[in-house]
Amino acid sequence: MINKYSKKRDGSKKVSDSFRVREFACKDGSDVIYIDTKLVGYLQRIRNWAGAPVRITSGYRTKSHNAAVGGAGSSYHVKGRAADIVVTGKSVKDVAKYAEAIGVPGIECNEDSRYVHIDTRPGKYYWIRRGGKDITVSGFGGKCPYGEPGNNLRRGSKGNGVRWLQFWLKLWGRSLSVDGDFGKKTEDAVKDIQRRRGLKVDGIAGKKTRAALKGY
């Protein structure tokens, strides 16, 4: 859903736990702002993962401002469905990888200007901006090849469900082998995530812990 806001009237209004309307405003100073609720959802999940500020360097753009900055005529910024972001303490590669993992359909890893573009286009499209050129890629390494387990995982668990867990823990910066063996290192990593997300610290990867890993 695309919502229409006024910067003057609604600028301080929260659209999620961490984002306000004014952060999406066009840089030309215009009052009207369009924001896709799905885009906000992705941004909040990235913010939860980062545990640090996510700065929107370009959100909604008017057609005239989009043209002035050299944006494509079909840019999703003009539709309120895109944001260019800088995430404190995270590399553009790590942000792009996590965005892919949570299912963001449009992702640009801009290595020249050090930001990540995300959008809510209907089909998937990933690219890297490097040396002034756009390079289409199939992915950033964030697509999990394992299915999410439906049961609780704990120390001693084994199999592809544990591999799913270890894959996601690595996205959170934990140094682990994706070996399907839930040992002490995996348990410690789970406890760390639980502390960071304010969950019960028991080392058991239940439904809430798995949701937290996905940024919810």
- Tokens 């940024």 found at: 215
Domains by residue range for the chain, with CATH = 2-137 (3.30.1380.10), 160-213 (no CATH)
H and E: helices and strands count for the chain: 7, 8
> What average pLDDT does the chain have?
98
Residue pair 185/178 in contact (Cβ under 8 Å)? The answer is no
Distance of CA 176 to the CA centre of its chain: 22
- pTM across the whole model: 0.97
**pLDDT per position as a tens digit, 55-82:** 999 999 999 999 999 999 899 999 999 9
Stretch (H or E) spanning 64: helix 63-68
**pLDDT per position as a tens digit, 165-186:** 999 999 999 999 999 999 999 9
Structure tokens at 138: 């199939």
pLDDT band at 93 (very low <50, low <70, confident <90, very high): very high
| Mean pLDDT within 144-161 | 98
**pLDDT per position as a tens digit, 43-55:** 999 999 999 999 9
Which are the contacts of 70, defined by CB distance < 8 A and separation ≥ 6?
A: none
Structure tokens at 10: 């609604």
Q: Pairing state of beta strands 106-110 and 125-130?
A: parallel
